[in-house]
Chains A and B, each alone.
Chain A
Amino acid sequence: MKLAPLIGIEAVAFLLIIAETVLFFDFVVPLGPIPHSLTDYTGLALLKLILIIALVALWFVVMVGLTRLYVRSRIATAPKPST
């Protein structure tokens, strides 16, 4: 049962990976009308780039947050050798 929090983190990681991959392939990649000018094209590309970075950042922030929470809750009672 000591592993339960880590299994929880693992589950969150995998659910986020699936959800974000679906968002990436089904929404971000096909996003927007077909661009008609270079400005349109650049704007759309920038928007997609920002969305991709946001998806990666979301995973990063959630995982860092969960890990910090776990480390903080355990560090005070971290085992130390008796000798």
Chain B
Amino acid sequence: MGLADVGLLLLSFIVPFLILIFGLPPFLRLLTRMGKVSDDVHKRPPSKVPEPAGPMLFAAALVGEALVAAGFHSWIPVAVMLGAGVAFLVGLTDDLFVLGGKAKPLLLLLAGFAFVGVIAIRPDLYQPVLTFPILGDTAPHSIIYTVLAVVAFPVVANAFNMMDAFNGEISWFALLTSLALLVGVVLHAAYTSGFSLARVAATLPLVAVAAGFLIFNRYPSRAFDGDSGSLMLGAMFAGLAITGGVEIAAIIAIVPAILNSFYTLSSIRGFVERRKMLSRPTYIGGDGLLYPSTEPNAPNTLIRLILLGGALSEKDLVKSIIYLTVVACLFSFAISALTWVQ
């Protein structure tokens, strides 16, 4: 790795980070002037927060990935941003017009198709194998792997989207899981001969966007990303896990989000737009704390399960989610180390 490579790696993190730091405040002022503000419903009385910040997140990620594509002459960022771009557009449509509960996952399949479409141009975009700790590689399974890659986009993007309910929840979650992803890709690169550095560099804009957005989204939030932001982050994560060849470690890192989606979908029996849920999983008490619903038909979200252990303020609830995510990311580090370190 030469000095130019180190410079490119640094730039692919710093540039998107600075774009968010300096670009988001004027964008948030613009959103406020346009009346694009949402109630922060977990505050008493609800405060108004600009939403969606997703377009600025997408712009920052796009510039970062463009740098990687140009600097490393790589198609990986192109494929990742094609998938993330489609997810961003689906999310933006939902932010502006509200899509149905079933329409969103179906439209997100297009993100998966856009991503795997690039393999027609660059067959080395990803290897159709999974690598397990200790056991090593599976045999190549092009068709099954490609189908799973397409399906991964709606699944992961929706999982990220469902982790976007409280101040700082999505930004902490995206930052921690993208760091776990980065560790996996770095270990993969360090212990595999011929592994392209572009696969590592492509992960850095995601880390930068998550870190930059955390500054504005942490409690008390000054910005909400909207579905355009959370779906884009999820789609980027899915694409980078596939191109980095660290699918197993990536799945483990997002287990809290997978469980949250599973709980929600299994308890409400299908895809229902959250604004149309008949009963709420949690409610705010007169003391400002969040309580779990004890109604028998209340959806079993991860939040409700956490609150069954005791009422919490929004800030402490997000801390609990961070702890669960940290544990999952530690599992993910262990999986990455067991898989790649020889």
- B-binding residues in A (CB < 8 A): 2-3, 6-7, 9-11, 13-14, 17-18, 21-22, 25-26, 29-30, 60, 63-64, 67, 70-71, 74-75, 78-83
Task: Report whether A3 and B324 are in contact in the complex, using a CB–CB cutoff of 8 Å.
Answer: yes
Q: Please report the C-alpha to C-alpha distance between residue A22 and residue B331 in the assembled complex, in whole angstroms.
A: 17
Q: Please report the C-alpha to C-alpha distance between residue A70 and residue B309 in the assembled complex, in whole angstroms.
A: 10
Find chain B residues with CB under 8 A from A14 CB: 251-252, 255, 328, 331
Find chain B residues with CB under 8 A from A74 CB: 308-309
Task: Report whether A67 and B286 are in contact in the complex, using a CB–CB cutoff of 8 Å.
Answer: no
Task: Report whether A29 and B141 are in contact in the complex, using a CB–CB cutoff of 8 Å.
Answer: yes
Find chain A residues with CB under 8 A from B287 CB: 81-83
Q: Please report the C-alpha to C-alpha distance between residue A18 and residue B286 in the assembled complex, in whole angstroms.
A: 44
B327 in the interface, Cβ–Cβ < 8 Å? yes
B323 in the interface, Cβ–Cβ < 8 Å? yes
- Residue of B with least CB distance to A7: B327
Given contacts A6-B302, A25-B139, A79-B307, 7 further A-B contacts (CB under 8 A): A9-B259, A29-B141, A67-B300, A71-B308, A78-B308, A79-B291, A83-B286
Q: A26-B138, A75-B308 are in contact. Are A6 and B252 (CB under 8 A)?
A: no
Selected from A6, A13, A30, A81, the residue in CB contact (under 8 A) with B285 is: A81
The SS class assigned to the A binding surface is: helix
Task: Report whether B309 and A3 are in contact in the complex, using a CB–CB cutoff of 8 Å.
Answer: yes
Question: What are 5 A-B contacts defined by CB distance under 8 Å?
Answer: A10-B259, A10-B324, A75-B294, A80-B285, A83-B286
Q: Please report the C-alpha to C-alpha distance between residue A82 and residue B285 in the assembled complex, in whole angstroms.
A: 9
Task: Report whether B132 and A22 are in contact in the complex, using a CB–CB cutoff of 8 Å.
Answer: yes
Find chain A residues with CB under 8 A from B291 CB: 78-81
B63 in the interface, Cβ–Cβ < 8 Å? no
B271 in the interface, Cβ–Cβ < 8 Å? no
- Residue of B with least CB distance to A68: B300
Task: Report whether A3 and B328 are in contact in the complex, using a CB–CB cutoff of 8 Å.
Answer: no
A-B interface contact total, Cβ < 8 Å:
93
Within 8 A of A (CB), among B293-311: 294, 300, 302, 305-311
- A-binding residues in B (CB < 8 A): 130, 132-133, 135, 138-139, 141, 144, 248, 251-252, 255-256, 258-259, 262-263, 266, 285-287, 289, 291-292, 294, 300, 302, 305-311, 320, 323-324, 327-328, 331, 335
Find chain A residues with CB under 8 A from B130 CB: 21, 25
Q: A22-B132, A71-B308 are in contact. Are A78 and B328 (CB under 8 A)?
A: no
The 4 closest A-B pairs by CB, nearest first: A81-B285, A2-B309, A74-B308, A25-B138
B90 → chain A closest CB, angstroms: 26
Task: Report whether A6 and B305 are in contact in the complex, using a CB–CB cutoff of 8 Å.
Answer: yes
- Residue of A with least CB distance to B251: A17
Q: A3-B323, A78-B292, A79-B292 are in contact. Are A10 and B328 (CB under 8 A)?
A: yes
Find chain B residues with CB under 8 A from A22 CB: 132, 135
Task: Report whether B306 and A17 are in contact in the complex, using a CB–CB cutoff of 8 Å.
Answer: no
Find chain B residues with CB under 8 A from A2 CB: 309-310
Find chain B residues with CB under 8 A from A21 CB: 130, 132, 248
Task: Report whether B262 and A11 are in contact in the complex, using a CB–CB cutoff of 8 Å.
Answer: no
Q: Please report the C-alpha to C-alpha distance between residue A25 and residue B141 in the assembled complex, in whole angstroms.
A: 8
Task: Report whether B144 and A7 are in contact in the complex, using a CB–CB cutoff of 8 Å.
Answer: no
Selected from B139, B141, B255, B335, the residue in CB contact (under 8 A) with A13 is: B255
Find chain B residues with CB under 8 A from A80 CB: 285, 291, 294
Task: Report whether A6 and B324 are in contact in the complex, using a CB–CB cutoff of 8 Å.
Answer: yes
Find chain B residues with CB under 8 A from A30 CB: 139
Q: Please report the C-alpha to C-alpha distance between residue A29 and residue B139 in the assembled complex, in whole angstroms.
A: 10
Chain B CB within 10 Å — which of A67, A75, A82 has the most? A67
A61 → chain B closest CB, angstroms: 11
Find chain B residues with CB under 8 A from A6 CB: 302, 305-306, 309, 324
- Residue of A with least CB distance to B332: A14
